[in-house]
Amino acid sequence: MGANGDGPVDTEEAIMQATYRALCTHGYANLTMQAIADEFDKTKGVIHYHYDTKEALLVAFLEYLLDAFEQHIAVEGDDPVERLETLIDTLLFGPPERTTFDHWELTTAMLEIRSEAPHNAEFRRQWSRNYETVVAMVVAIVEDGIETGVFRDVDPEQVAMLLLVSINGARIYQVTLERDDVAEVTRAGLEAIIHEWLCEDEAETSAR
Amino acid sequence: MGANGDGPVDTEEAIMQATYRALCTHGYANLTMQAIADEFDKTKGVIHYHYDTKEALLVAFLEYLLDAFEQHIAVEGDDPVERLETLIDTLLFGPPERTTFDHWELTTAMLEIRSEAPHNAEFRRQWSRNYETVVAMVVAIVEDGIETGVFRDVDPEQVAMLLLVSINGARIYQVTLERDDVAEVTRAGLEAIIHEWLCEDEAETSAR
């Protein structure tokens, strides 16, 4: 919640949280304005005052989720291996500190909104902006590792994309399959790739 | 279509194809029995005769899609590298021969049904069966590669899962982001991992 009393920012934050709860409870296919209002201590009219249409509300909601997500994945430090591992951990398992949302509940909610993106250009635009933000973070770490001689001379964009598709795929399998080890096994696999392939010294390979 | 005239198998096949067209046209959130009937030369009553509920129809439809998918990914040959590359290509870009469904349209439809899986145990069961079928194919190739000394001594389950989460994540990014190079860049990244890490000789590494 904001610190400005009961102003529009607080109301919008309350609507966003109500939307999140309604999405988790009812799923995307049953996410009506009424279902959102039911999670909210104000009326449907208040929601319509802030958001003209359900689509406008959902666009704002996706932006809200992605902003919250991006705020929690910043990594600091000098060691590119450590920074990369911390980022992988945070993306796969959620930030170490407690946040507003449960990581796997959030993954499920995001999967449902993502499945709408093929039909909605504004959703695709927002997912793309989010992807470019996160991929730039990975590229910066990989470039730093190459410059300092820690990583072999790879294509940073290619490695960053491979990491992000793996993590994205793993999170989606984790919430849609009957097995609960996908994120753990994926982390172990990515660790092996980093230490046995990406790292110049540990891999004991000749330079390409 | 089956070869048995106008019998129940043909009708069910026709209902499955109508469901697919309705899903592609309207999206999962708007996939009603009426929308499916509108894609079909028979009435809604015929659909209800074969499937009691919309959920029963969708469970049958997911099974139909996954069966079609599994039929198209068999790979033959002796060379584990070639078999692995063929499987990756087929999973990322669709089978080389023409099939009933457009690959990216199918990917979009499957993403929408997958997003329902967290709320539906029967969907999770089917996705899991499909995952176990495909992962077993990859594990068999990797094990073969290790036994014949082509691949280094990796954990086959871990490598197979890493491959499949990457491919799954890449297909989903391909249809939900504004960029169209995700599948291509992912293939190039996986090629690098296979030739520079997984292959024993090419990587020029000492055995672990």
State residue A148's pLDDT score: 95
B189/A128 touch (CB, cutoff 8 Å), yes or no: no
Mean pLDDT across the stretch A124-153? 96
The residue of chain A with its CA nearest to that of B208 is A196
- A204 neighbourhood in chain B, CB within 8 Å: 205-206
Where is average pLDDT lowest: A1-5, A34-38, A145-149, B104-108?
A1-5
Contact (CB<8Å) B182/A161: yes
Interface test with B, best of A110, A173, A191, A208 (most B CBs within 10 A): A173
Q: Do residues A135 and A194 share a domain?
A: yes
Q: Which of A39-48, A128-137, A152-161 has the lowest mean pLDDT?
A: A39-48
Q: Are residues B90 and B73 in the same domain?
A: yes
Predicted local distance difference test score (pLDDT) of residue A171: 97
Among candidates A124, A154, A161 on the partner chain, residue whose Cβ is nearest the Cβ of B185: A161
Q: Are B197 and B191 in contact (CB under 8 A)?
A: no
Burial, A8: exposed, middle or buried (Cβ in 10 Å; 0-12, 13-18, 19+)? exposed
Question: Is the pLDDT assigned to residue B202 strictly greater than 70?
Answer: no
A19-78 pLDDT, tens digit each: 999 988 888 878 888 999 999 877 889 999 999 988 899 999 999 988 888 888 877 888
Q: Is B17 left (phi over 0), alpha (psi -120 to 50) or beta?
A: alpha
State the pLDDT at residue B40.
84
Residue A91: pLDDT band with limits 50, 70, 90? very high
pLDDT attached to residue A166: 98
A172: nearest CA partner in chain B = B169
Task: Indicate whether B5 pLDDT > 80.
Answer: no
Domain stops at, among A26, A51, A76: A51
% of residues, chain B, pLDDT over 70: 92
A-chain CB neighbours of B165 within 8 Å are 165-167, 169-170, 173, 182, 186
Say if residue B45 is in the same domain as residue B64. no
Beta-carbon separation of A172 and B176 below 8 A: no
Q: Is B207 on the interface with A (CB under 8 A)?
A: no
Taking each helix axis as running N to C, give the angle between helix A182-193 and helix B156-176, from 0 to 180 degrees, rounded to the nearest 10.
100
**Listed range (A10-19, A67-76, A147-156, B86-95) with the worst mean pLDDT:** A67-76
DSSP-derived secondary structure letter, A197: I
Amino acid, single-letter form, for residue B144:
D
Residues A31 and A95 in one domain: no
> Is B208 domain-assigned?
no
Please indicate whether residue B101 or residue A21 has the higher confidence score (pLDDT): A21
What is the ipTM score, two decimals?
0.89
Asked whether residue B84 falls in the same domain as residue B155, the answer is yes
Is A172 touching B (CB cutoff 8 A)? yes
Residues of chain B contacting residue A112, judged by C-beta atoms under 8 Å apart: 115
Give the model's pLDDT for residue B1: 41
Check A165 against B166: CB less than 8 A apart: yes
**A85 and A112 in one domain?**
yes
Residues 68-97 of A with CB under 8 A from B: none
B45/B129 same-domain check: no
Residue A129 and residue A44 share a domain:
no
Which residue has tokens 């691949």? B151
The reported pLDDT for the residue numbered A6 is 57
Please indicate, yes or no, whether residues B42 and B107 belong to a single structural domain of this protein. Answer: no
- Strand-pairing partners, residue A199, are A151
SS3 assignment, position A188: helix
pLDDT of residue A3: 45
Domain membership of residue B150 (yes or no) is yes
Q: Which residues of B112-124 are buried (b: 16+ CB within 10 A; e: fewer)?
A: bbbbbbbbbeebb
Q: Any CB–CB contact under 8 A between B176 and chain A?
A: yes
- The answer to which of A59-68, B35-44, B93-102 has the lowest mean pLDDT is B93-102
**pLDDT band at B28, cuts 50/70/90?**
confident
**Chain A residues closer than 8 Å to B162 by CB:** 166, 185-186, 189-190, 193
Which of B200, B194, B58 has its CA nearest to residue B126? B58
Q: Does residue B35 sit in the same domain as residue B125?
A: no
Tell me the average pLDDT across B155-180. 97
Q: Which range of residues forms the domain containing residue B152? A: 60-203
Domain total for chain B? Answer: 2
Q: Token pair of B180, please?
A: 């169209």
Chain A environment of B35 (Cβ under 8 Å): none
CATH code, domain with A39: 1.10.10
Query: Is residue B208 over pLDDT 50?
Result: no
Do A41 and A19 lie in one domain? The reply is: yes
Instruction: Based on the fold, state whether residues B47 and B65 are members of the same structural domain.
Output: no
Comparing A42 with A13, the larger pLDDT belongs to: A13
Q: Would you say residue A173 has pLDDT above 50?
A: yes
- Residues A161 and B189 sit within 8 Å (Cβ to Cβ): yes
List the structure tokens of B40: 């079909």
Residues whose CB falls within 8 Å of the CB of residue B157, separated by 6 or more in sequence, listed in order: A185, B135, B139
**Stretch B200-207: mean pLDDT, rounded?**
55
pLDDT tens profile B175-186: 999 999 999 999
For residue A7, the model assigns a pLDDT of: 65
A122-140: average pLDDT: 95
pLDDT tens digit sequence for B103-131 = 999 899 999 999 989 989 999 999 999 99
Residue type, B169: G
B79 domain residue, yes or no? yes
Q: Which of A112, A168, A176 sits opposite B127 (nearest CB)?
A: A176
- Give residue B71's pLDDT: 84
Secondary structure letter of residue B198 according to DSSP: I
The average confidence (pLDDT) of chain A is 89
Rounded mean pLDDT of B87-112?
89
A125–B contact, CB cutoff 8 A: yes
pLDDT for residue A8 = 66
pLDDT at site A181: 97
Q: What is the CATH number of the domain that holds A111?
A: 1.10.357.10
